[in-house]
Amino acid sequence: MRRFPLTIFLFSVPYILVFLFPVFCLLNPKPVYAQPANLFFSVPSSQVQEGERITIRVEVSSPEQSINAVSGIVFFPANLARVVSFSKEKSIINLWTQEPKLISNRILFEGVILNPGFQAKNGIVFQITFEAKKAGLMSLGFNQGSILANDGLGTNVLAGLRSSKFNIISAPGYFSGQFNASTAKPMTLPVITKYFPTIGAKEVLYLRGEGEPLALTKIIFRNLSVKSIGEKLIALLRSKKEELDEVIVKNNDRGIFRYVSGSDLVAGVYSATPFLIDSNKNTELPGPSVQLLVSDSEIVKNTVVVLNVMGLLVPIVLLGVIIYFIPWYSWRKMRLMKGKMLLEEEKTELTAEELKQNLPPPTPPISP
């Protein structure tokens, strides 16, 4: 019995190495060869008229390498067009370190993509809505940019910054940057002007905004939060809670719209984007987004922490049991087998001794 701990350790060594090898691989990752990626524009039309609006997507392409951060500076001729609004709807960015910001004729942006990152050909970073002011060739480009690989090293895999162009043509009734009285006025995009950035899950969400008078406004909510194991378990147990999705509200004669949600909401970080529904053109034009936080109670937060800790401890405990049990079981089986072998040997020796004792005495030789 004194050799039991040493035996257990000797049997445990190969199993410990097998389970620790993936951990060493994660702690000492080898650099991955950075494949090229590009920033570019997606222009829906090659030609617009003066006074018209056009929404252009800033996109990223990285089909061979997962990326987790994108940044850059867009430039455009301010004498030909003006920026009406930005939209982050359908964006691959989860966390904005610099939301799209207009400074003179430049647009700055920088965002982060959470694990597992983004790896595809066409990923929307954000959208820009321009209004054409003057006839000419509208050129869009990047002053600078970067695309960081999701390799743990922050490798810049940017291969190119592609520019785009489209024509702005003269429109009848448009002169000196103004429409005349006979030209229709562009519809006003909706803007959320009043809301509470942080509310409790048991409270109601209130939004107020302004847009086109007597028009319909669609508000799309998008949950940006990444849920942990504990939050997923809580969500399963509370399946009757209301998750913010999308709603349609009617603007009054002054263009004001309001929305009030239910009082039992799913916690998370939401982006709320209002869209102007243009029934004449059968289109939906986005306005600027806002972000808000729906927070759970302290009891639920503490429960989530406990569940997350248990989710980490249970695999570790199971791993420890496996590492100990398999060598112990093997050692015990070997002891039993050794005992059986010794018993069989003793039985064989006893049988041989009995046979030897039961043999008749040898017959003396007969003398002549």
- Sequence ranges of the domains in the chain: 33-186, 187-333
Instruction: Measure the CA–CA gap between 277 and 283, rounded to whole angstroms.
Output: 6
Residues ≥6 apart with Cβ < 8 Å to 71: 98, 109, 110, 111, 145, 146
Q: Which of 35, 211, 55 is nearest to 121 (CA)?
A: 35
Q: What is the pLDDT of residue 362?
A: 67
Encode pLDDT of 111-122 as tens digits: 999 999 999 989
Domain 187-333 listed as CATH 2.20.130.20: yes
Whether 33-186 and 187-333 share one fold: the answer is no
Helix, strand, coil % over all residues of the chain, rounded to 5: 25, 40, 35
pLDDT of res. 351: 75
Q: What is the DSSP secondary-structure string of 118-138?
A: B-SS-EEEEEEEEEE-SSEEE
Of 105, 129, 158, nearest in space to 48 by CA: 129
pLDDT of res. 333: 82
Q: Which CATH number, 3.40.50.300, 3.10.450.100, 3.30.110.30, 2.60.40.680, labels domain 33-186?
A: 2.60.40.680
DSSP code of 244? P
The predicted pLDDT at position 182 comes to 44
Q: What is the pLDDT of residue 299?
A: 79
Q: Which residues contact 225 (CB under 8 A, 6 or more apart)?
A: 267, 268, 269
Mean pLDDT per block of 10 residues along the chain (368 residues) reads 51 56 47 67 93 94 93 93 93 93 92 93 94 93 92 88 92 58 67 91 90 92 76 66 84 93 84 87 83 80 75 82 83 83 79 70 65
Contact call for residues 94 and 67 (beta carbons, < 8 A): no
